[in-house]
C-alpha cells in the first residue's frame, strides 16, 4: 500500500496505515484514497466504543506538545476538531507495538485497535460561495522523535500532505509560533503568504498566520516527489524568531496592505533562528 508518487520515506507505508476521524455523515465529503493511499481505519467520534482510541489520540498530543505547554483537553478535540472538522493520521495496530511503546503511549492491556502515531487536524473555514475549499490546520503531531528506532522520518510532513488530500483542500491556513520547530514542515508546501506576523488575538503574540494554495503538485512536492518542485522567490529580508519588534513592524506593513511570504525553511546563524521573507509575487 503506497501512494501513486514517490515520497521522502516510501518505506513508511509498509509499516503504518492511515486513519481518519470524522462522523459517518461527513465521509462523503472526504477522499478515502488520498493520492492513491487507502484509508484503513475510520473512527467515528459519535460511537462510544471508540473511547480508547480518543484517549490514545490525546496521549499522542501530550507526548508531542506537553513539554511546550499547549496540550489539548479532550473536549477541545471533540468540539473543535472531531465534529466540525476531521483528523487524518497514521497508526499501528496495538499488537504491532513493543512493550516499551505500549507503556509510553499508555495502551490498555486489552486494546486491539489502531494506535495513532501522527495526526493532522483541519477545520473547514467559512468562505464566499465559489471560493476554494479552505481549511484551517489546527494541529499537527508526530511521534517521529519519540520513537527514533521506528524509522518514522518525515511522518509529520506526510501526515499533513495526505491529510490535506483526504480533506480535498484547495487552500490551507495555519497559525504557529516563529520559534516553533514545526514551521519548517509547513514551508515545504510552498511560499506561505503571511496574514499576521504578530497576533494580538492569540495567547502567544509571537504567532504568525499563513495561507497557501493546495493542489496535487503542492502535495507531491511537500511529500518528496522530486518531479514536482515548487518555485520560490529569493529572500529580501530575514526575520529572527526572537525579534518581537521586527514582527510587529512586519505585521504593521501587512495591515497597510503589503503582502509578504515566508520563502522557505529557517536558517540557524550564530545561535539565532532566521526566517526568509520576501514580498509576495
| pLDDT > 60? residue 90 | yes
| pLDDT > 90? residue 207 | yes
Q: What integer pLDDT is reported at residue 1 of this predicted model?
A: 75
Q: Is residue 109 part of a domain?
A: yes
CATH number where 142 lies:
3.40.630
pTM for this model (two decimals): 0.95
Q: Which three cell numbers stand for residue 281?
A: 509575487
Rounded Cα distance between 231 and 234, Å, is 10
Q: Is residue 201 part of a domain?
A: no
- Cβ burial, residue 107 (10 Å; 0-12/13-18/19+): buried
Q: What integer pLDDT is reported at residue 72 of this predicted model?
A: 80
Domain range enclosing 106: 10-169
Cα angle 150, 98, 52; round to 5:
100
Phi then psi for 189, rounded to 5 degrees? -90, 15
Q: Give me the number of domains the chain comprises.
A: 1
Q: Is residue 78 part of a domain?
A: yes
Q: What integer pLDDT is reported at residue 53 of this predicted model?
A: 97
114 falls in which pLDDT band (50, 70, 90)? very high
Rounded Cα distance between 9 and 194, Å, is 29
% of the chain with per-residue pLDDT over 70: 98
Give the tens place of pLDDT for each residue, 22-40: 999 999 999 999 999 999 9
Q: Is residue 142 part of a domain?
A: yes
Q: Is residue 266 part of a domain?
A: no
For CA atoms 221, 225, 227, 233, the dihedral sign is positive
Q: Is residue 273 part of a domain?
A: no
Q: Is residue 100 part of a domain?
A: yes
Q: Is residue 23 part of a domain?
A: yes
Rounded Cα distance between 90 and 159, Å, is 7
Amino acid at each position: 500500500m503506497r501512494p501513486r508518487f514517490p515520497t521522502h520515506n516510501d518505506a513508511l507505508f509498509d509499516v503504518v496505515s492511515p486513519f481518519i476521524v470524522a462522523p459517518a455523515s461527513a465521509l462523503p465529503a472526504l477522499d478515502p484514497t488520498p493520492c492513491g493511499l487507502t484509508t484503513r481505519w475510520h473512527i467515528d467520534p459519535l460511537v462510544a466504543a471508540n473511547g480508547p482510541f480518543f484517549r490514545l489520540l490525546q496521549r499522542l498530543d501530550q507526548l508531542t506538545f506537553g513539554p511546550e505547554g499547549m496540550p489539548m483537553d479532550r473536549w477541545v478535540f471533540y468540539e473543535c476538531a472531531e465534529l466540525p472538522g476531521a483528523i487524518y493520521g497514521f497508526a499501528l495496530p496495538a499488537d504491532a507495538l513493543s512493550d516499551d511503546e505500549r507503556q509510553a503511549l499508555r495502551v490498555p492491556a486489552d486494546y486491539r485497535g489502531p494506535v495513532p502515531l501522527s495526526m493532522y487536524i483541519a477545520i473547514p473555514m467559512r468562505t464566499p460561495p465559489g471560493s476554494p475549499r479552505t481549511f484551517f490546520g489546527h494541529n499537527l503531531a508526530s511521534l517521529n522523535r519519540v520513537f527514533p528506532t521506528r524509522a518514522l522520518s518525515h511522518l509529520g510532513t506526510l501526515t499533513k500532505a495526505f491529510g490535506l488530500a483526504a480533506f480535498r483542500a484547495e487552500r490551507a491556513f495555519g497559525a504557529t509560533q516563529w520559534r516553533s520547530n514545526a514551521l519548517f514542515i509547513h514551508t515545504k508546501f510552498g511560499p506561505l503568504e503571511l496574514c499576521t506576523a504578530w497576533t494580538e488575538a492569540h495567547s502567544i503574540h509571537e504567532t504568525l498566520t499563513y495561507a497557501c494554495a493546495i493542489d496535487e503538485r503542492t502535495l507531491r512536492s511537500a511529500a518528496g516527489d522530486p518531479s514536482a518542485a515548487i518555485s520560490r522567490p529569493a529572500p529580501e529580508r530575514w526575520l529572527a524568531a526572537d525579534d518581537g519588534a521586527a514582527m510587529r513592524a512586519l505585521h504593521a506593513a501587512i495591515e497597510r496592505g503589503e503582502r509578504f511570504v515566508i520563502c522557505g525553511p529557517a536558517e540557524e546563524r550564530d545561535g539565532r533562528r532566521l526566517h526568509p521573507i520576501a514580498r509576495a509575487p
